[in-house]
Amino acid sequence: MSDAAVTLAPPSKQRRVLKIVSWVVGLVLLLVVLHLLGVDVWGWLTQLWDTVSEISLLYIVLGCIFQCAQTMLTALGWYGILRYAYPGGVTYMPVLAAYAAGVALNNFLPANIGTFVTLVMYVAIVRGSTFPGILAGYVVQKIFYMIIGTLIYVYLFTQVTGSFDFQFGDERDAIVDHLVLSLGILAGGLFLIVLLLRIFWRWVKEMWARAKKGAAILGDLRAYVKLVLLPQVGGYAAKVLVIIVFLAAYSIPVTFGSVMSVLGSNQLANILSFTPGGVGVNQAFNTFALDSYTDSTTATAYSIGQQLITTAFNVGFAVVLVCLVFGWSGGSKLVRDSYTDAKVKASEMKSSRGKTLEGAEETSEPDATA
C-alpha cells in the first residue's frame, strides 16, 4: 500500500477541470442528500455566517493564519520524527497533507479517530514504516504536549480562585469548596496515573520493543530539539495566538489566566469528549473556564465562533492539500482506506488494552501478597 501511495501521479490539467466541475455538482448533490436525511447543513452554514459576521474580518484572517501556522509547524515536527526514523522515506508535503486530513476529520469524528487516520496514512506514505513504528513516533510526538499540558493543569490548580472559580454560598464556603475539590481532583489524577502505569506497563514495554525504530530520534537529543521540539513550540505558540485573537474578537480580557483557562478547558474537553469535534463539550468547558472573565453568553459565542471558523479552515486546508499532494482520486482513496484501517486499528488497540487489563487483574492478587 505504501509504494502505491507514494507513486500516485496527479491527473492532467483537462481532467482536473472536469473534476472541479464534478466536485461542485457532487457537493450540491451531497448537500441535498444530507438535507433529505435530516442533517441541518444549511443551519450549520447559517450559524457559521452569523458567528463570523459578529466579529471583524481582520480577526478571522489572523485566526486562520495562526491556525495554518499551527498545522504546518506541528506537521514539521512529525516530519522530523519520520525523516529521522525512515531516511528518504517521505517528504514534508505528504506528511503535512496527512496530518491536516486527520485534524479536519477530528472535527467530525468522535474519540479522535482522525488521529488514527493520520497514523495509518503515514504507514501508507512512508516507505519502510510499520504501524508499531509510527505509533512509537506518535508517543515521541506527544512528549512535549504531555509536559506542557501538565504544567497548565498545575498552574490552574494553584490559581483555582482566579481560573476555575466556583461559587458555592459565601466566600468562606467557596474557599473551602475550592480546597476540597482541588485536593480531590489531584488525588484522583495521581491514582489514575498509577493505575494506568500498572495496567499498561507490560503492554508499553512490548510495543516499545517492536517500535524502537519509530522513536529513534530520542537517541539523538540535538536532533530531537532541532527537528521536533522547536517546531512543536512554534506550533503551540501559534495555537495560543489563535486563542488570543478570538478572545480579543469577542472583547474577552486577554490575560495569562484567561488564556491558560481556555487551554486547560480545551484539553479536558478533548480528553472527556466522545462527540464529533467535541461539539457541546468544548462550549460547556470554555464557558465554565471563562466565568471569571466574561458572561456565559459571550463565552459561549467565543467558543462557538472559534470552533466553527477553525473547523471550516481545517476542512478547506485539508481538502486543498490532499488534492494537490495526492490528486483527487488518489487522495480520496487514500483517506477512505486509511479511515477504514483506522477503525480496525483503534478496535484492535482497545481489545489489546482489554486483554492487558484482564491479565493485570489476574496477577494483581499474587503481586499484593508478594
- Exposure string for 110-125, b = 16+ CB within 10 A, e = fewer: eebbbbbbbbbbbbbb
User: Would you state the pLDDT for residue 32?
Assistant: 73
Tell me if 32 is assigned to some domain.
Answer: no
Q: Tell whether the model's pLDDT for residue 310 goes beyond 70.
A: yes
pLDDT band at residue 364 under the 50/70/90 scheme: very low
Distance CA 342, CA 103 (A): 14
Distance CA 203, CA 179 (A): 36
Q: What is the mean pLDDT of residues 241-260?
A: 91
Tell me if 137 is assigned to some domain.
Answer: yes
Tell me if 119 is assigned to some domain.
Answer: yes
Separation in Å, CA 122 to CA 7, 81, 220:
14, 11, 22
Tell me if 206 is assigned to some domain.
Answer: yes
Cell numbers at 141, concatenated = 510526538
Tens of pLDDT, residue by residue over 11-29, are: 555 665 666 666 667 667 7
| Highest mean pLDDT: which range of 37-46, 118-127, 148-157, 174-183 | 118-127
Tell me if 25 is assigned to some domain.
Answer: no
For residues 292 and 301, the answer to whether their CB atoms sit within 8 Å is: no
User: Would you state the pLDDT for residue 349?
Assistant: 63
Tens of pLDDT, residue by residue over 322-345, are: 988 888 777 777 887 787 777 777
pTM score of the predicted model: 0.70
Distance CA 255, CA 132 (A): 41
Q: Greater confidence, 278 or 304? A: 304
Tell me if 38 is assigned to some domain.
Answer: no
Tell me if 366 is assigned to some domain.
Answer: no
User: Would you state the pLDDT for residue 162?
Assistant: 45
Q: Which domain holds residue 356?
A: 61-360
Q: Tell whether the model's pLDDT for residue 117 goes beyond 80.
A: yes
Count: domains in the chain: 1
Tell me if 49 is assigned to some domain.
Answer: no
The 10 Å Cβ neighbour count of residue 47 is 14
Q: Percentage of residues in the chain with pLDDT exceeding 90?
A: 24
Tens of pLDDT, residue by residue over 159-218, are: 654 444 444 444 445 444 555 555 666 666 676 666 666 665 666 666 666 567 788 888
